[in-house]
Structure 1
Amino acid sequence: MLYKKSKTNKESGLLVFLDRFQSLFAKRNVNYRQLRLILKYKLLLDTRDTSFFTVFMQMQTSNTKQDDEIPTARGLLRSLWYYGIYGVIFGLLLLFGTSFSAMCYFFLAYFMILFTTILSSFSSVLLDPRDRQIIGVRGVNNQTLNAARLIHISYYVGIIAFLLVGPAFLILIWRASPVFAILFLIDVVLFTIFTSFVALLLYFVILHTFNGDKLRNMINVFQVAFMILIYAATQLPNLLDNLDVSFTISPIWHWWSIIAFPFWFAAPLAAWQSAWTPSLIIFTSFAILGLILSVIYYLHISSQFEVMLEKLAVHSDKTPRIGVWQQLMAWPYRHNLRKREYFNLAWRLNQTERDYHLRVYPVLGLTVVIVFVFLVEFGIDGGHWEALLQNRWLTLTVYAMSFSIPQLIINLRYSSTPEAMNVFKVIPEFHAQVFRQATIWMVVARLLIPQALLLAVLLTPLLGWQALITDINATLYSLLISQIIAGQSMKLPFAAVYTASQSSSLGLANSFITVLVLIPGVGLNAVALIPKFGWGNFLITVAWPIILDLALHQSNKAVTISSQG
Structure 2
Amino acid sequence: MTEPIALRVLDRFRGLFSRFGVDYPVMRRILQVKLTMDARRVPTIVGKSKQRSDDQNAEDHNQFAKSLWIYALFGVFCSAFMWLGDNYFFKMSLTFGVLMFIVMTSLISDFSSVLLDIRDRNILATKPVNHRTLTMAKTMHVCIYLIMLTGAIAVVPLITGLIRHGILFFLIFAVELIFMDLLVVALTALVYLTVLKFFDGEKLKDIINYVQIGLTIVMTIGYQLLIRMFNLIDFHVTFQPKWYQLYIIPAWFAAPFESLLHRNGEPILTVFSLFGIAVPLLAFIIYIRLMPSMERHLQKLADPGGRPVRGKGRLLQGLSRIFCSGSQERGFFRLAWSLMGNERDFKLKVYPILGFSIIFPFLFLFTSGFDDGLKGLQGSPKYLFIYFSGAMISTIIMMLQYSNKYKASWIYKTLPISDYEEVHRGALIAAIVRLILPLFLVQSVIFSFIFGSGIILDLVTAGLSLLLYTVICYAFLHRNLPFSQPFDAIQNEGLRVLPLILLLGGFGVLHFVMTFINYGVYAYTMVLILLNFLVWHPNRKIFKRLTRRVEN
Partner of 2:29: 37
Partner of 2:455: 467
1-side partners of 2:546 and 2:428: how far apart? 16
- Post-superposition Cα deviations, 1:405-459, rounded to whole Å, max 9, x if no partner, equal 3222211001122112223432234753312211111112222322332233223
1:405–1:425 Cα change, 3 Å: same
1-side partners of 2:328 and 2:168: how far apart? 71
Compute the displacement of 1:316 (Å).
2.4
Per mean C-alpha deviation after superposition, the further-off stretch among 56-65 and 206-215 is 56-65
2-side partners of 1:415 and 1:376: how far apart? 37
Per mean C-alpha deviation after superposition, the further-off stretch among 542-551 and 184-193 is 542-551
1-side partners of 2:389 and 2:219: how far apart? 19
Could you say what secondary structure the match of 2:76 adopts? Answer: helix
Partner of 2:421: 433
Per mean C-alpha deviation after superposition, the further-off stretch among 125-134 and 172-181 is 172-181
2-side partners of 1:21 and 1:517: how far apart? 52
1-side partners of 2:83 and 2:331: how far apart? 60
Q: TM-score, normalised by structure 1?
A: 0.83
From 371, 392, 413, the equivalent of 1:404 is: 392
Partner of 1:3: none
Instruction: Give the residue type in structure 1 aligned to 2:337.
Output: W
Compute the displacement of 1:91 (Å).
2.3
2-side partners of 1:211 and 1:500: how far apart? 31
1-side partners of 2:506 and 2:129: how far apart? 61
Could you say what secondary structure the match of 1:492 adopts? Answer: coil
Compute the displacement of 1:340 (Å).
2.4
Compute the displacement of 1:108 (Å).
2.9
Instruction: Give the residue type in structure 2 aligned to 1:295.
Output: F
Per mean C-alpha deviation after superposition, the further-off stretch among 333-342 and 406-415 is 333-342
1-side partners of 2:443 and 2:395: how far apart? 19
Partner of 1:356: 346
From 517, 541, 559, the equivalent of 2:527 is: 541
Given that residues 172 and 257 in structure 2 are in contact (C-alpha distance below 8 angstroms), is that contact kept between their aligned partners in structure 1?
yes
Given that residues 115 and 138 in structure 2 are in contact (C-alpha distance below 8 angstroms), is that contact kept between their aligned partners in structure 1?
yes
2-side partners of 1:69 and 1:539: how far apart? 55
Partner of 1:78: 66
Partner of 1:509: 496
Question: After superposition, where does 1:327-338 map in structure 2 within 5 Å?
Answer: 329-332=319-322, 336-338=326-328
1:491–1:20 Cα change, 3 Å: closer
Could you say what secondary structure the match of 2:152 adopts? Answer: helix
Per mean C-alpha deviation after superposition, the further-off stretch among 406-415 and 492-501 is 492-501
From 148, 170, 188, the equivalent of 2:177 is: 188
Given that residues 238 and 377 in structure 1 are in contact (C-alpha distance below 8 angstroms), is that contact kept between their aligned partners in structure 2?
no
Given that residues 403 and 514 in structure 1 are in contact (C-alpha distance below 8 angstroms), is that contact kept between their aligned partners in structure 2?
yes
Partner of 2:131: 142
Partner of 1:4: none
Partner of 1:110: 99
1:126–1:554 Cα change, 3 Å: same
1:236–1:552 Cα change, 3 Å: farther
Given that residues 113 and 345 in structure 2 are in contact (C-alpha distance below 8 angstroms), is that contact kept between their aligned partners in structure 1?
no
1-side partners of 2:145 and 2:92: how far apart? 24
Per mean C-alpha deviation after superposition, the further-off stretch among 106-115 and 364-373 is 364-373
1-side partners of 2:228 and 2:455: how far apart? 22
Partner of 1:294: 283
Compute the displacement of 1:217 (Å).
0.9
1:47–1:327 Cα change, 3 Å: same
Instruction: Give the residue type in structure 1 aligned to 2:201.
Output: G
Question: After superposition, where does 1:159-170 map in structure 2 within 5 Å?
Answer: 159-170=148-159
Percent of aligned positions that are identical: 27
2-side partners of 1:402 and 1:180: how far apart? 41
Equivalenced residue count is 546
Compute the displacement of 1:141 (Å).
1.4
Note if 1:217 corresponds to 2:203: no
1:114–1:68 Cα change, 3 Å: closer
From 5, 12, 19, the equivalent of 2:4 is: 12
Note if 1:203 corresponds to 2:163: no
1:264–1:484 Cα change, 3 Å: closer
From 245, 251, 265, the equivalent of 1:263 is: 251
From 125, 135, 160, the equivalent of 2:114 is: 125
Given that residues 406 and 482 in structure 1 are in contact (C-alpha distance below 8 angstroms), is that contact kept between their aligned partners in structure 2?
yes
2-side partners of 1:175 and 1:60: how far apart? 40
Partner of 1:451: 439
Given that residues 116 and 298 in structure 2 are in contact (C-alpha distance below 8 angstroms), is that contact kept between their aligned partners in structure 1?
yes
1-side partners of 2:52 and 2:531: how far apart? 47
Per mean C-alpha deviation after superposition, the further-off stretch among 514-523 and 218-227 is 514-523
Which structure has the bigger radius of gyration?
1
Instruction: Give the residue type in structure 1 aligned to 2:393.
Output: I
Partner of 1:554: 540
Partner of 2:18: 26
2-side partners of 1:15 and 1:360: how far apart? 33
Compute the displacement of 1:14 (Å).
1.5
Per mean C-alpha deviation after superposition, the further-off stretch among 145-154 and 327-336 is 327-336
Partner of 1:497: 486
Unaligned runs of 5+ in 2: none
- Post-superposition Cα deviations, 1:43-99, rounded to whole Å, max 9, x if no partner, equal 11112245xx43556577869994696546xx5343122321222222221222252
Instruction: Give the residue type in structure 2 aligned to 1:33.
Output: P
Given that residues 55 and 500 in structure 1 are in contact (C-alpha distance below 8 angstroms), is that contact kept between their aligned partners in structure 2?
no
2-side partners of 1:262 and 1:516: how far apart? 35
Partner of 2:330: 340
Given that residues 414 and 494 in structure 1 are in contact (C-alpha distance below 8 angstroms), is that contact kept between their aligned partners in structure 2?
yes
- Post-superposition Cα deviations, 1:463-520, rounded to whole Å, max 9, x if no partner, equal 4556322322332333333334434524411111125762x33x64355357558857
1:366–1:301 Cα change, 3 Å: closer
Instruction: Give the residue type in structure 1 aligned to 2:44.
Output: T
1-side partners of 2:165 and 2:525: how far apart? 63
1-side partners of 2:230 and 2:539: how far apart? 46
1:453–1:560 Cα change, 3 Å: closer
Partner of 1:6: none
Per mean C-alpha deviation after superposition, the further-off stretch among 160-169 and 119-128 is 160-169
